[in-house]
Structure 1
Amino acid sequence: MTAPATGPAAPAEPAADSDRDLVLRAEDIHVEYDGERPTRAVRGVSFELRRGEVLGIAGESGCGKSTLAYAVTRMLKAPARMTRGSLGFRGRDGQEVDLLTLDDEGLRTFRWSSLSMVFQSAMNALNPVTSIGRQFDDIFRAHRPEMERGERDKRTRALLEMVGIDADRVHGYPHELSGGMRQRVVIAMALALEPDIVIMDEPTTALDVVVQREILDEVERLREELGFSVIFITHDLGLLLEISDRLAVMYAGEVIEYAPAEQLATAAAHPYTQGLLRSFPDLTGERRELRGIPGSPPDLRNDLVGCAFVDRCEHAFAPCRTETPRLLELGREIGPWTAACHLNDPAHRPPDQPGQDEGTPSAEGRQP
């Protein structure tokens, strides 16, 4: 996916049927934090996002989820820098853009109108001394200068009502709103210019479970109504299984499993994914003992040899300490499913490891 760096994008070539609904493709993304020993925070991550879908990105703190989001939005700040990779975007009009070629003016046009983001601690993202209406007004003045004042006010009120807030709150200030209401305002701001993609980075972490449920239901309703795509980032894999179409599980800066949510819920292939599933309670079914994952992720300032998860994995065997696992395709029954673990690789799998033809591991024995 490529286009000129600035100005209107060139007319797109006709897309292949398989790519027609593709809105974002990230390939081989690498991000480092400069220092005496650079921290390789994101290492070779690739994924695709299709129109109207929810892609969940899960993993422990420090595994590179938020850094990946900042790389996708081109908002990395020093000492972080993207050292390798490509980012291609296709809008609703079929035009394609190479995001890495956009200059500052091109990025200002692209952000909010094509891709917006709800940040961590979004409740604190609102200006405490400026009215809600004025903060929406600033967005429209910057990105839609042709809009008249009355039109901007009408649009702001409609957006507030769309997320379940009384339109009269346009005159209010953030401190006059509850936490859940402020979160809804931030989501409304992210949707103000009807973007193709909304990235949500831990958007409900600071909320209680009841308000969290309300916000998630609201996001799902808006997605179905408006047709935007979502990248939803959180450490809570159980939550992602509820709301996502597909999931990418990150560990030590890499995607170690990538699959439809239904596949991960019933037959996770990577021991780390299994460990995450054991760390959260089921929303339905019998009570079970929760078990965390012993240890901590590796120091990404060091050169990693073999599998990054080896010191925490109860299934590790000799090749895990010397050879980096390949991201192997395991199946396509309900969508692409890949995992990076020697247990799934016929070239390395120990004799007592159950498996199926063509190296696809059996679901038996992989339940968390």
Structure 2
Amino acid sequence: MRVTPVPFDPVLGAVLDAMPRDEGTAPSTDTIAAIRDSASMFPMPSVADVIGTREIDAEDRTVPGPDGAPDLVVTVLRPRHLKAPAPGLYNIHGGGMISGHRHQDTPRLVDLVEELGVVAVNVEYRLAPEHPHPAPVEDCYAGLRWMARHAAELGVDPHRIVVMGGSAGGGLSAGVALMARDREGPSLAGQLLLCPMLDDGNTTVSSHQYDGRGTWQRGMNVLAWQALLGERAGDPAAEVSVYAAPTRAGDLADLPPAFIEAGSAELFRDEDVAYASRIWATGGQAELHIWQGAFHGFDIFAPDHEVTRAALAARLSWLRRVLAL
């Protein structure tokens, strides 16, 4: 497919040009270890350093995993002077389901805890290919169930929990929302899906536009889906769980309100737009933002850009509305 990519915003393009590149190494299962070791993509200061002098307490907890699976570790972030019961945010980190760590999202969560007075639970889940589907999404669902069951202990209102995440974390959040619907709980107030990774097919126009361009490129995306699903990845005739690839779901009715955002210059753009449209087709609620000229993960790599400020304001507005703040 020959396609012309949407150009990057000039300032964001300069940010991309200044980022280190691994020239000439094609993504493969042999490169996953190097991807995980790369500190340049997601530098992670300690939780204490991120919190600094802010009135926020952090606690690591070990909680039950799925039946027959290892326990999970979560980090709980709470306002020191919590006005309980408070809304809860259940966060799932990104990394293509093959890399990443919960603490890469600590800065985003600490800001939300401080701004909104919410309690955040940040889950660590098993990664593919060592742990293919259903391990990642089942881990995330198990952590959500723990949060809901221990809501009173955590100071959380169980009726005001939003599941959230970026990239793979957004895809897993969508999968967890489908699980919560199909398994009759926990109840969710919303799903905050930031440039979510939803479609194993890699057939959209935008999935071809960013082959060799941007922070998360087509080759990496194909590798990630293969690590998660094996030979089934991208095969329209294969049986693939909707909890792994939410775009495979035939029914998107009765889901919690969704906030979906992506950049206009990233490969997930078209699948994210289609997901919002399919939610609307059922009479469901979805708020969609496509940020002009923005690449995948723009808010992380360009925190002072005007489009990042606009995106953060839109997320806060939506959270205030769905959580009745």
Q: Please indicate the TM-score interval, normalised by the length of the shorter structure.
A: under 0.3
Instruction: Give the TM-score, by structure 1 length.
Output: 0.25
Instruction: Give the TM-score, by structure 2 length.
Output: 0.28
Q: Which has the larger radius of gyration?
A: 1
